[in-house]
Each structure stands twice: as C-alpha cells, then as structure tokens.
Structure 1
C-alpha cells in the first residue's frame, strides 16, 4: 500500500476515534514533531530578523505608503 492510501486510512480511523487518551497521544506526538520556523532558519536570517525588530522598536521604520510609492513600478 502506498503512503497516500495509508494516510487516508489513518485519517478515516482518526475521524472515528472516540478514545480521549489516544487522541491526546496523537496531539502530543504532533506537537513534538512540529518545528518552529525560527529553528529552521539560519543564524544569519535570525540576526536579520532580530535587527529588524530592534529597528522597529526604535521607530526606525519607513511607512508602508512610502515604500509602495518608491517601488510602485516593480509591483
């Protein structure tokens, strides 16, 4: 059986599941497997995000209207 068919079977089984304990175990597994986007980006990308947040906190921002006017010809 291919993986897509197995997924559909799991979905059907899960949809009919009434056992709260098993449901909670699936939720715990899902949370364990989820990876935050922050953990997937490079150190350089994290630095850039942090720098941007710091600039925004200091009010060092350009209004959206100005940016749109400046780059209008490319949008």
Structure 2
C-alpha cells in the first residue's frame, strides 16, 4: 500500500469518526455489505455447474497431473 492510499484511508477514518448523518452511515453500511458479498452468489449457473463438476471429479479422485493439464491447456495459459 502506498503512502497516498494510507493517507486517504486515514482521512476517511477521521471523517467517519465525526459523521452524524444516519442516512450516510446506512449507505456506507450497504456499500460495505455489497463489497463483502460472497462471490458464489454472483456467478452464472454454468460457472457454478462447472465448479461443482470439478469438485465431484476431485472427490472421486478423477484428477490429472499438472504436467498433463499444461500440455492440454498450455496455449491458453
């Protein structure tokens, strides 16, 4: 983190500590909640299906060695 970002964070902390407007505080809390939202809830059904399929394959020990995967998908990596 650079010094400018640190200074900005400190400025925000100072501003928040003096903030009395409840509507602004509520808006900030909503923003915080949005920023910490679980990414799983925002992926597509296709992505979710693909991830679950991969987990199932791993659970069934249907894994490929890293070297084999590199050969298959190397051009995209």
Q: TM-score range by the shorter chain?
A: 0.5 to 0.7
The structure-2 alpha-carbon separation of the partners of 1:15 and 1:62, relative to structure 1 and needing over 3 Å to count, comes to: farther
Q: Give the TM-score normalised by the residue count of structure 2.
A: 0.54
Shift of 1:40: 1.0
Shift of 1:35: 1.8
1:46 match: 48
1:12 match: 11
Kindly report which structure 2 residues correspond to 1:23-38, keeping only aligned pairs within 5 A, or say none. 29=29, 30=32, 32-33=33-34, 34-38=36-40
Shift of 1:17: 6.6
Shift of 1:13: 3.6
Q: How far apart are the structure 2 equivalents of 1:52 and 1:37?
A: 17
Unaligned runs of 5+ in 2: 1-7, 19-24
Shift of 1:11: 4.8
Q: Partner of 2:49: helix, strand, or coil?
A: helix
Q: How far apart are the structure 1 equivalents of 2:40 and 2:11?
A: 33
Q: Give the TM-score normalised by the residue count of structure 1.
A: 0.55
